[in-house]
Amino acid sequence: MSYDKLKDDSIDELLQGFFGAEFFNPKHAEVSQYFVDFNKIIKASKCKIITIAGTNGKGQTAHYINDYLTSIGKSCALWTSPHVLSVTERFKFGSEYLSHLELEETFKKCYVEDQKMSYYEFLLFSFCSLCVERNLDYIILEVGLGGRLDAVNFLDADYTLLTSISKDHEEFLGSSLSGILKEKLGICRENSPHFSSLEQAYLRSKQVSYLSRKKNLIDLFKSGTIREEDNYFLRNKLLASYFINTLLGRDLSRESLLLQINEFVCSVTKGRQEEVTIENIKFIFIGAHNVDGIRKMRDYFLSQRSGNRSSILCAFSKRKNEDIMASLEIIKSAPCLFESINVTSFEHLKALPLESIPNVEEVTITEDWKSYLDSILNCKKGQWIVTGSYYFIGEVQKYLNSRYSIL
**Which CATH number is 400's domain given?**
3.90.190.20
Is 83 found in the same domain as 118?
A: yes
Q: Which of 210, 238, 263 is the last residue of a domain?
A: 263
The verdict on 177 and 99 lying in the same domain is: yes
Structure confidence at residue 289 (pLDDT): 84
Whether residue 223 sits in one domain with residue 280: no
Look at residue 219 in the predicted model and tell me its pLDDT.
Answer: 96
Residues 252 and 111 in one domain: yes
What pLDDT score was predicted for residue 407? 67
61/205 same-domain check: yes
Question: Looking at residue 380, what is its pLDDT?
Answer: 74
Q: Does residue 255 sit in the same domain as residue 277?
A: no
Residues 122 and 197 in one domain: yes
Domain count, the chain: 2
Which residue, of 213, 245, 263, is where some domain finishes? 263
pLDDT of 166 reads 77
| Whether residue 235 is found in the same domain as residue 116 | yes
Shared domain check, 187 and 298:
no
- 230 and 298 housed in the same domain: no
**Which residue numbers in the chain have pLDDT < 50?**
172
C-beta neighbour count of 344 within 10 angstroms: 24
Range of the domain at 374: 272-404
